């Protein structure tokens, strides 16, 4: 109960209301003391008027008047003459004098608090102005014990009333908080628990219904989060199913390609010069296809092989990529060129680097062909003391906005209709395996440029 939100509100409300009542209590006690003393002055003035009407009062009557006024002496100043009107013996000397004629609020509060916390019974002199301008001043002496008891009684009544108001207010706030805040929050928690139990069930997605602005914003944010998470879970499920299917296909395709390798020796023995020229390309293509199938199977087991680093001339790989693309799709509208220094040697995995450059070149070629306009694809490379830099630049139509938003995300960054978007995702992962990076430098109506950075490392293999 006390650890709940409504319970905390109940406690805090009671505390703050009591605090407010305490702030009211202090000036109230001061005002009560002032009214009490003024009432004694008024009674004393009435008693002195009796003496003015008949100056031959009996001693018993005078004592009765003083007792009713609850004072010991009454001094009235009229016409600049100070006159002791009524008097009786005082049990002890006067300890303090209080003038109510020009006392400020701070003085009244200070005197009241001092009196409230002083238990000793004292004799005090009180000076005030007579009512109805019946003189210049009136002065009485009185005990403080009755005054203090009256102040305590008045203070207790205020505290009891404050406690009742605090509890009543707290109960009302408790009920309001439970109705308008706690209940909607529990509803949101219930939606979250049901959604957590079955996130694929769209019926568990919250429907915003709160009337409070902040709670409705929270419900709308939760609804958006649940929708996105449900879509992501469905996509991951489809990817898992697709991954299983790809692994099975790759397994069977690897067996088929392995059988095809057995026939390459006979093809190489052919006397046809064209066949003899193309046979090594076919052997290399089949070998890469088998390697790709094995890598796909390893990826399905979350065991992407680390790159096998070797030193080789980059121009050989780039030429191999360009010739493979020309043989695969000999469109006359696309010009493929490579500007690689013949002495440029890199330390990398040649097969993985071939796949990276091939994916980028193929994407560029397909974009140019889809645009219907001629274009050029250029592969260049430079090096410095820190890394090798390979640039693939084209004069195609540029990447669409959606492709730029999900550039390296599988199944989301496809740049053409029917594309899976795996090429860039695989390329980025392979480059990261080398400790490098694949970045989009620029794209637009005048073309696209990708840059591969391969760090040199410590120079060892």
Strand order from edge to edge, sheet including 375-383: 334-339, 375-383, 387-394, 447-455, 437-444
Decide which of 150, 169, 188 is a domain's last residue. 169
CA distance 392 to 449: 6
Residue 192 lies in a domain: no
Both structure tokens of 276: 């003899």
For residues 131 and 76, the answer to whether their CB atoms sit within 8 Å is no
Which of these, 349, 366, 331, 372, lies nearest to 430 by C-alpha position? 349
Q: What SS3 class is residue 171?
A: helix
Instruction: Give me the number of domains the chain comprises.
Output: 2
What pLDDT, on a 0 to 100 scale, did the predictor assign at position 387? 93
Decide which of 145, 169, 193 is a domain's last residue. 169
- The residues that bridge with 442 in the sheet, in sequence order, are 449
Mean pLDDT by 10 residues, the chain (461 residues): 66 76 83 89 77 60 74 78 71 89 87 89 89 76 90 88 79 79 79 77 74 78 82 74 65 60 63 71 71 60 68 93 79 85 92 91 88 92 94 91 75 50 79 91 91 80 53
Residue 258 lies in a domain: no
For residue 163, what are the domain limits?
A: 5-169
For residues 76 and 45, the answer to whether their CB atoms sit within 8 Å is yes
The count of other CB atoms within 10 Å of the CB of residue 414 is: 20
Decide which of 138, 169, 200 is a domain's last residue. 169
Residue 266 lies in a domain: no
- The residues that bridge with 338 in the sheet, in sequence order, are 379
Q: Give one DSSP letter per residue of 433-458, joined into a string.
A: HTT-EEEEEEEETTEEEEEEEEE-TT
Residue 259 lies in a domain: no
Residue 263 lies in a domain: no
> H or E segment at 392?
strand 387-394
CATH number at residue 426: 3.30.565.10
Which of these, 50, 82, 79, 78, lies nearest to 65 by C-alpha position? 50
Residue 174 lies in a domain: no
CA distance 428 to 423: 9
Instruction: Tell the burial category of 3 from Cβ atoms under 10 Å away from its Cβ (0-12, 13-18, 19+).
Output: exposed
Q: Give one DSSP letter per residue of 245-302, joined into a string.
A: HHHHHHHHHHHHHHHHHTTHHHHHT---HHHHHHHHHHHHHHHHHHHHHHHHHHHHTT
What pLDDT, on a 0 to 100 scale, did the predictor assign at position 210? 75
Q: What SS3 class is residue 71?
A: coil
Residue 45 lies in a domain: yes
| H helical segments located in 70-212 | 105-116, 145-177, 183-197
Q: Which whole-number Å values give the CA distances from 96 to 108, 126, 151, 165, 289, in the listed order?
A: 14, 9, 18, 38, 111
Cα angle 7, 9, 14 (rounded to 5 degrees) comes to: 100
CA distance 116 to 33: 10
Q: Give one DSSP letter per residue of 24-57, joined into a string.
A: HHHHHHHHHHHHHHHHHHHHHHHHHHHHHH-S--
Residue 251 lies in a domain: no
CA distance 136 to 83: 11
For residues 138 and 127, the answer to whether their CB atoms sit within 8 Å is yes
What pLDDT, on a 0 to 100 scale, did the predictor assign at position 417? 47
Which of these, 114, 116, 141, 115, lies nearest to 127 by C-alpha position? 141
What pLDDT, on a 0 to 100 scale, did the predictor assign at position 136? 76
294: which residues sit within 8 A by CB, 6+ positions away? 250, 254
């Amino acid at each position: 109960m006390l650890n709940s939100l409504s319970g905390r509100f109940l406690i805090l409300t009671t505390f703050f209301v009591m605090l407010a009542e305490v702030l009211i209590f202090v000036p109230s006690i001061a005002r009560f003391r002032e009214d009490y003393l003024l009432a004694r002055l008024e009674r004393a003035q009435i008693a002195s008027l009796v003496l003015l009407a008949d100056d031959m009062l009996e001693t018993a009557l005078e004592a009765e008047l003083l007792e009713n006024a609850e004072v010991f002496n009454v001094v009235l100043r009229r016409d600049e003459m100070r006159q002791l009107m009524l008097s009786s013996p005082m049990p002890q000397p006067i300890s303090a004098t209080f003038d109510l004629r020009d006392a400020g609020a701070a003085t009244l509060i200070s005197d009241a608090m001092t009196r409230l916390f002083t238990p000793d019974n004292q004799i005090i002199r009180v000076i005030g102005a007579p009512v109805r301008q019946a003189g210049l001043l009136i002065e009485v002496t009185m005990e403080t014990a009755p005054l203090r008891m009256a102040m305590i009684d008045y203070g207790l009544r205020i505290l009891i009333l404050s406690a009742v108001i605090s509890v009543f207010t707290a109960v009302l706030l408790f009920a309001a908080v439970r109705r308008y805040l706690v209940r909607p929050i529990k509803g949101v928690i219930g939606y979250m628990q049901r959604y957590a139990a079955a996130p694929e069930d769209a019926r568990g997605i919250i429907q915003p219904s709160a009337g409070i602005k902040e709670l409705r914003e929270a419900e709308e944010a939760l609804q958006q989060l649940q929708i996105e998470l449900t879509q992501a879970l469905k996509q991951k499920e489809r990817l898992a199913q697709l991954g299983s299917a790809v692994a099975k296909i790759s397994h069977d395709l690897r067996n088929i390609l392995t059988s095809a390798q057995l026939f390459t020796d006979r093809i190489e023995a052919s006397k046809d010069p064209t066949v003899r020229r193309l046979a090594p390309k076919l052997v290399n293509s089949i070998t890469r296809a088998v390697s790709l199938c094995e890598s796909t199977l390893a990826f399905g087991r979350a065991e992407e092989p680390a790159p096998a680093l070797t030193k080789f001339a980059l121009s050989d790989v780039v030429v191999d990529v360009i010739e493979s693309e020309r043989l695969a799709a000999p469109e006359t509208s696309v010009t493929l060129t490579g500007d690689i220094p013949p002495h440029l040697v890199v330390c990398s995995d040649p097969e993985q680097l071939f796949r990276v450059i091939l994916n980028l070149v193929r994407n560029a070629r397909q974009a140019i062909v889809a645009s219907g306009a001629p274009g050029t694809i250029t592969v260049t490379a430079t090096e410095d003391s820190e890394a090798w830099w390979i640039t693939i630049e084209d004069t195609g139509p540029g990447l669409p906005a959606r492709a730029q938003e999900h550039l390296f995300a599988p199944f989301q960054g496809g740049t053409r209709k029917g594309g899976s978007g795996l090429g860039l995702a695989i390329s980025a992962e392979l480059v990261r395996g080398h400790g490098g990076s694949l970045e989009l430098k620029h794209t637009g109506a005048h073309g696209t440029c990708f840059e591969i950075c391969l760090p040199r490392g410590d120079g060892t293999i």
